[in-house]
A = this chain, B = another copy of it.
């Protein structure tokens, strides 16, 4: 076993696009093999933390849905942006105008929302109406010092009926209109990953982030000193556009290879198989060959 593999003690798993595709009547569809993979990760003795930017529901509701889809997951294992945002709001005496999904509102029950002095934006989905966007804009532009807090900066995600714009796109719209820069709570914010690592009790060099978003998951984890894997499920796309262009495409991106069986946790795949969960990229193979530490410049 390669040195880098022996050094791994904890895994951070993205959920949407990695474990399941959201949307549709039942709230989503598990990605084949993912529930079994979670069980094997847990059985392996590795520490595990679910790291999600999911903001269409409270953690309680979200976890209940995932349990219903067959996942071994509990609320205590989930790091999500809304609780982090609530801490930040209270610390700074901020009273938010919320542009979020109806089902997320209960997370902000204990926060003073009268006479708003900031705007909090999440993946509001159908609440991203013309009227609601104008309302949030008017609150923001009317502030002496506009403060925009965004629960993530994802570009888009995949639901069962197709790709959808994520909160990052709407965050950019408000940033541009008000000439402000949003404070991002959630991935890829460093504080968010650090919080998840602290909750696991694992240092960054012994943890791996697995996600389908090259910026929020892979980029964010790297900036925190972790390594990261981008899976080919969820929103993964083989060609440019999207965020993939920004990270490593020029560095030989991406040739899929199998991820060697490790800690008995990963689904072993070979090149001929169709894309599935827990596949990764050439740089992983390269890194494995070179052994950890020899190639510091490898992007993941």
Residues of A within 8 A of B (CB): 125-130, 133-134, 137-138, 141, 144, 146, 155-156, 162-166, 168-170, 172-180, 237, 239-243, 245-246
**A128 vs B173: C-alpha distance when bound (angstroms):** 12
- The listed residue (B125, B144, B164, B175) touching A172 by CB distance below 8 A is B175
Q: Can you list 24 contacts pairing A with B, beta carbon distance less than 8 Å?
A: A128-B133, A129-B129, A129-B130, A133-B165, A134-B162, A134-B163, A134-B164, A138-B163, A141-B163, A141-B237, A141-B241, A155-B177, A155-B178, A155-B179, A156-B177, A166-B177, A168-B176, A169-B173, A172-B173, A172-B176, A173-B173, A179-B245, A179-B246, A180-B241
Return A152 CB to nearest CB of chain B, in Å: 13
Instruction: For the complex of A and B, list the 5 residue pairs with the smallest distance between their C-beta atoms, beginning with the closest.
Output: A169-B173, A172-B176, A173-B173, A169-B177, A155-B177
The answer to whether A141 and B128 touch across the interface, beta carbons within 8 angstroms, is: no
- The listed residue (B178, B240, B246) touching A242 by CB distance below 8 A is B178
The answer to whether A156 and B137 touch across the interface, beta carbons within 8 angstroms, is: yes
- The listed residue (B144, B175, B242) touching A179 by CB distance below 8 A is B242
**Number of copies of chain A assembled together:** 2
A141-B242, A179-B243 are known; give 11 further A-B pairs, CB within 8 A. Answer: A128-B133, A129-B129, A134-B164, A137-B163, A141-B237, A155-B179, A168-B177, A169-B176, A170-B173, A172-B173, A173-B173
Q: Tell which of A138, A162, A176, A178 has the most Cβ of chain B within 10 Å.
A: A176
**A240 vs B143: C-alpha distance when bound (angstroms):** 10
**A138 vs B137: C-alpha distance when bound (angstroms):** 25
Return A244 CB to nearest CB of chain B, in Å: 8
The answer to whether B176 and A155 touch across the interface, beta carbons within 8 angstroms, is: yes
**A175 vs B178: C-alpha distance when bound (angstroms):** 17
**A172 vs B240: C-alpha distance when bound (angstroms):** 18
